[in-house]
Amino acid sequence: MQSVEAVRWSADGSAVRIIDQRELPGKFIERDLATLDEVVSAIQTLAVRGAPAIGVCGAMGLVTVAQRTLGGQPDFQQRLADVAAIIREARPTAVNLAWAVDRVMRVAAATPGDAEAGIAAMRAEATEIFHEDRRMCRAIGAFGASLVTDGSTVLTHCNAGALATSGIGTALAPVYVAVEAGRRVAVIAGETRPLLQGSRLTAWELARAGIPVTVITDNMAASLMRQGRVDLCIVGADRIAANGDVANKIGTYGVAVLARHHGIPFYVAAPTSTVDPATATGADIVIEQRPAHEVTRPFGVTTAPAEAAVLNPAFDVTPAELVTAIITDRGVFRAPYDFAGAAPAHS
The number of residues making up the chain comes to 347
Cα(268)–Cα(249) distance, rounded to whole angstroms?
12
**Cβ–Cβ under 8 Å, residues 275 and 339:** yes
Which residues, listed in sequence order, are joined to residue 267 by a DSSP beta bridge? Answer: 234, 325
SS3 272: helix
Question: 3-class SS at 252?
Answer: helix
CA-based nearest residue to 57, from 92, 100, 21, 106: 100
Q: Which residues contact 27 (CB under 8 A, 6 or more apart)?
A: none
Element (H or E) spanning 204, and its range? helix 203-208
Distance of alpha carbon 253 from alpha carbon 167, whole angstroms: 26
User: Which H/E stretch holds residue 295?
Assistant: helix 293-296
DSSP lists the bridge partners of residue 318 as 246
CA angle at 62 for the pair 61 and 63, rounded to the nearest 5°: 90
Q: Three-state SS string across 7-38, please?
A: EEECCCCCCEEEECCCCCCCCCCEEEECCHHH
Q: Which positions ≥6 away from 345 have C-beta within 8 Å? A: none
Q: Which of 231, 238, 276, 329 is catalytic?
A: 238
d(CA 152, CA 148): 6
Position 286, amino acid? V
Catalytic status, residue 82:
no
Catalytic residues: 238
